[in-house]
């Protein structure tokens, strides 16, 4: 497919709905996915955890015992999205909980195994989830092998820079599973710090030297942490020139409100170097500018943008993990779709 990706990560939606969160468009309560579709979003990204909610193991026990983000929950959510015509990206964390540059916990079921056995388990798990998705009628277009793996994954086994041979073996195992599942499915390798060209060149040169297969370079770009749109654009164009691969900003967000009394609670506490104000209008302006930057990548290799958790407003149950993101969502605190969502869907 060649259509520019205007995507949303919706991984937390089942938990939000379970906790009583409701969404509306123009005053009418609706399924959040239907709102996203009507506002122009054409793709969704869904993360997979191995065994979330298991009370007997850390960090699985840090998440709800209803096992949101488990393979079973992911399949149900992907079915809903697929029925509405969304393109699907599956994001394997290969962890029982969050995986990001600060933490990459190995699933408890794989701990203590040697590298070869972990690689086999990773491959089997990947293939099993993808086959179950297919059996459920879901077409998967992209598969992420790991999430924000700037410093590797499945720590300490594949921590980098120290353990590149192990990381490459695990990535190849995951990529081989994807190719076995569907040779046309696009393999995504995803790092954070999307404006840091030296990081990306160093990392992908290592991956290529070790013959890790991939089709898409995925980037996280949050201006308050990662730098300016100008630097992101420079990196995207340089990567396009160096590697000739599709490029997708698979995570981004921008604040629509800042409050000195809450900033220490919210994860996103400022706008970085961008000139767009922390308002609904400024949020829309940022998303337009970001989409222009990605669309303008040399060779037409800028494939799209996913907004990270646009619907993660505080739930009626008051979960802390949701309220820390409330100032950057594309819905207000009552679940009403904002104009910035419609702008992004048209960008």
Residues annotated as catalytic (active site), given as ranges: 148, 251
Q: Using alpha carbons, select from 1, 23, 13, 160 the residue that is nearest to residue 81.
A: 13
The kind and range of the H/E element at 247 are strand 246-252
Q: Using alpha carbons, select from 262, 209, 199, 208 the residue that is nearest to residue 235.
A: 199
Q: Using alpha carbons, select from 209, 295, 192 the residue that is nearest to residue 251.
A: 192
Euclidean distance between the first and the last CA atom of the chain, given in angstroms as a whole number: 18
Q: Which residues pair with 246 in a beta bridge?
A: 216
What is d(CA 221, CA 249) in angstroms, rounded to the nearest whole number?
A: 7
Specify the residue for token string 């990605």: 294
What is d(CA 77, CA 252) in angstroms, rounded to the nearest whole number?
A: 21
Sequence-distant (≥ 6) Cβ neighbours of residue 47 within 8 angstroms = 9, 11, 69, 74, 91, 92, 93, 147
Spell out the long-range contacts of 79-84 with Cβ–Cβ below 8 A and sequence spacing 24 or more: 79/136, 79/137, 79/138, 80/33, 81/10, 81/33, 81/44, 81/46, 82/137, 82/138, 82/139, 84/33, 84/34, 84/37
Instruction: Name the token pair of 294.
Output: 């990605």
Q: Dihedral (C-alpha) 81, 29, 315, 76: value to the nearest 10 degrees?
A: -20
């Amino acid at each position: 497919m060649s259509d520019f990706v205007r995507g949303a990560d919706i991984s937390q939606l089942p938990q939000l709905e379970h906790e009583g969160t409701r969404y509306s468009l123009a005053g009418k309560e609706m399924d959040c996915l239907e709102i996203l579709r009507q506002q122009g979003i054409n793709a969704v990204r869904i993360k997979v955890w191995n065994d979330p909610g298991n009370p007997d193991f850390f960090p699985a026990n840090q998440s709800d015992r209803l096992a949101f983000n488990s393979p079973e929950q992911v399949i149900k959510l992907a079915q809903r999205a697929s029925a509405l015509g969304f393109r699907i990206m599956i994001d394997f964390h290969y962890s029982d909980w969050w995986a990001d540059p600060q933490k990459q916990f190995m699933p408890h079921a794989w701990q203590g195994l040697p590298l070869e056995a972990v690689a086999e388990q990773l491959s089997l798990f990947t293939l099993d989830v993808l086959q179950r998705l297919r059996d459920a009628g879901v077409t998967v277009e992209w598969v992420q092998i790991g999430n924000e793996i700037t410093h590797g994954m499945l720590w300490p086994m594949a921590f980098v820079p120290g353990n590149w041979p192990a990381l490459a073996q695990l990535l190849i195992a995951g990529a081989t599973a994807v190719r076995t599942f569907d040779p046309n499915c696009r393999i995504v390798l995803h790092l954070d710090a999307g404006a840091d060209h030296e990081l990306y060149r160093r990392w992908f040169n290592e991956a290529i030297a070790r013959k890790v297969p991939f089709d898409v370079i995925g980037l996280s770009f949050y201006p308050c942490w990662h730098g300016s749109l100008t630097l992101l654009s420079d990196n995207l164009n340089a990567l396009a020139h160096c590697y000739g691969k599709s490029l997708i900003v698979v995570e981004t967000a921008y604040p629509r409100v800042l409050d000195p009394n809450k900033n220490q609670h919210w994860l996103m506490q400022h706008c970085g170097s961008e000139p767009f104000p922390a308002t609904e209008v400024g949020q829309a302006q940022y998303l337009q500018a970001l989409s222009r930057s990605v669309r303008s990548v040399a060779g037409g290799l800028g494939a799209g943008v996913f907004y990270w958790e646009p619907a993660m407003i505080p739930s009626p149950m008051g979960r802390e993990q949701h309220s820390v993101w409330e100032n950057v969502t594309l819905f207000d605190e009552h679940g009403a779709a904002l104009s910035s969502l419609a702008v992004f869907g048209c960008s």
